[in-house]
Structure 1
Amino acid sequence: MLPEIHALWIGPHLPARAAGCLRSFARLGHKVVLHTYAELAGVPAGVETADANLVLTADKIFRHTGNGQVAIFADWFRYKLLSRHRCLWVDCDVYAVRPIDFDSDTIFGREDDEVINIAVLMLPSESPVLAGLLALFEGKPRRPGSLNAGAWLRTRIKAMLYGVPWVATAPWGITGPYELARLLKVHGLAAQAQPPEVFYPVPWSCLDLLEKAQVNIAAHVGPETRAIHLWNEMTRGRGNPEPGSLLARVDAEGLGGPPALLV
């Protein structure tokens, strides 16, 4: 049986691109559940919604003091969800090209030789890795092993000045890929990471492959590829993708159009 796909969206309207990504999983046979804190417009057919308050209540939402984004809160949300429910977490900028049909309750993938990304993540509820990730957000603040002492001190001072939890001032990746990679290594699980071509076949440094119409994106998708991370954080502010590009086709799929990519 395919794992349930779970995701989170904070805001009143689901963008077309996120809708296209979620729809791609539903079209391939996954049950898809989108957690939300409010009534949400733009949810595509085949995607269920759930009350995000049942995982973490809305009063716990925080934004990063540097960029105003909720990405680090979303890290906490996914870890809390995985600790309570057997499912596969995906970010709303992950587009499925094949079912994720691994016979495992531990699923994650490398972005490159150094980084294990958390955009696609499944860990069993009893995982010590998951416990370590949750400890970043819950209980007495402790320095993550992936953050050096000087950076930890600066982060804590900034948090005190702003009157926010330390995670709201954390450097990028400390509550996500960097600490995940460290904990996986500590517990001897890093070798289980899927290679980049499975979930991250298009590197963030090659956004033109996603944005340009003349690119044959299928040529960059191998038989082992299950999904393509679309790097929303990197493409934000770059203008509209060219008509016919993968991103434009995913947007159209989110509005009810045909599948953006069939392999």
Structure 2
Amino acid sequence: MRPDVVTFWHGPLDRLRQTCLRSQLAAGHKVTVYSFAPLPGLPDGVRHADAEAVLPFAFSERLRPPQPDGSWRDWTTLQFSDFFRMRLMAQSAGLWLDADVLLLKAVEIDPQKPYFAWERPRQLGNSVLYLPSDDPIVAAFAQLMQQKELTPDWLSLRHRLTFALRRISGKSDRLSDIRVAIFGPASLTALARRSGELRHALPKKSFYAVHAEPARFFEPTEFSALIADPGIVGFHVSPKGRGNQPPLPGSLYGWASKRFAAA
């Protein structure tokens, strides 16, 4: 089955994300971006939907208080999106792709099985994610969101100790302050292990061949083997602040920008 693609975005769309969204359309997917405000620069053909209908804006205040002007601070956007994608899974909305996932071809899934890939040797990525609505991982997040404290029962011993020390020292009583990805890949990996679903994970190169090495995407390099590899479905790109920089000639980004240019 070729699923619809869904994602969440907060703030202006940069050049890289526009390219990636066009690649998802070009692969034959229907693409919907959820946000709390209009998104200028949304590529033609990409649908826009109201994020409030999936997860209310007020939920962000359970992660950390907003800035005095009401805007989100530091990690809020990333952690909010970790919960948002699980809400979309509960609603059977489709396949989650981060807005910076560049697709080389269509993603085909079995709607009865999880779809994700290894990001690191012992950690799954959640930038590409599909879970059936009745999956135990989805249920675990639903139960977590009913808690005021948002403290997972799957938290590792190391994180439990870190959290306890921060509370004792008075630094913070919010788990969300421990690390940016506390509700993301670490949680997905722990829950997939607990539910026996790690066997469904695709190899790292499926989507994360350039994730930890952004130079392979942004800098001039030989990339023909990457785009010709049948085992690579797409690339999750870690822009590191380069999202609005013009692509360099001879780079994978330069190739992608031309291939998925605006009509």
TM-score (norm 2): 0.83
Is residue 236 of structure 1 aligned with residue 235 of structure 2? no
| 8 Å contact from structure 1 (residues 34, 48) kept in 2 | yes
- Residue type matched to 2:123 in 1? V
Q: TM-score, normalised by structure 1?
A: 0.83
Q: Does 1:3 align with 2:14?
A: no
Instruction: Give the deviation of 1:197 after TM superposition.
Output: 1.5
Aligned length: 247
Alignment of 1:10-21 (within 5 A): 10-11=10-11, 13-21=12-20
Unaligned runs of at least 5 residues, structure 2: 66-72
| Equivalent residue, structure 1, for 2:127 | 119
Please tell me whether the aligned partners of residues 93 and 230 of structure 1 are also in contact (alpha carbons under 8 angstroms): yes
Matched, 1:198 2:198: no
| 2:246 is the counterpart of 1:247 | no
Instruction: Look up the match of 1:260.
Output: none
1:152 is aligned, of 151, 163, 167, to 163
Give the conservation status (yes or no) of the 8 Å contact 2:9–2:33: yes
Question: Which residue identity does 1:256 align to in structure 2?
Answer: A
Conserved in 1, the CA contact under 8 Å of 2:210 and 2:236?
A: yes
Of the three residues 134, 157, 175, the one matched with 2:183 is: 175
Using the aligned pairs only, state the percent identity: 27
Confirm or deny: 8 A CA contact 1:147 1:174 kept in the other structure. no
Q: Deviations over 1:75-99 (max 9, x none)?
A: 0111111111241001111000010
**Distance in 1, Cα, partners of 2:243 & 2:15:** 17
Q: Secondary structure at the match of 2:39?
A: coil
Q: Separation in 1 of the partners of 2:85 and 2:214?
A: 26
Show the counterpart of 1:55: 54
Q: CA contact under 8 A between 1:44 and 1:254: conserved in structure 2?
A: no
Which residue of 2 is the match for residue 99 of structure 1? 106
C-alpha distance in 2 between matches for 1:237 and 1:158: 33
| Distance of aligned partners of 1:68 and 1:172 in 2 relative to their CA distance in 1, 3 Å threshold | closer
Is the partner of 1:61 in helix, strand or coil? helix
Per-residue CA distance 1:116-147 (angstroms, 9 max, x = gap): 00000001111111222344443243344333
Question: For the residues of structure 2 that align with 1:64 and 1:238, how far apart are their CA atoms?
Answer: 26
Cα distance in 2, alignment partners of residues 175 and 64 from structure 1: 14
Cα 1:61–1:250 shift into 2, 3 Å: farther
User: Which deviates the most, 246-255 or 104-113?
Assistant: 246-255
* Cα offsets for 1:94-115 (capped at 9, x unmatched): 0000100133442101013211
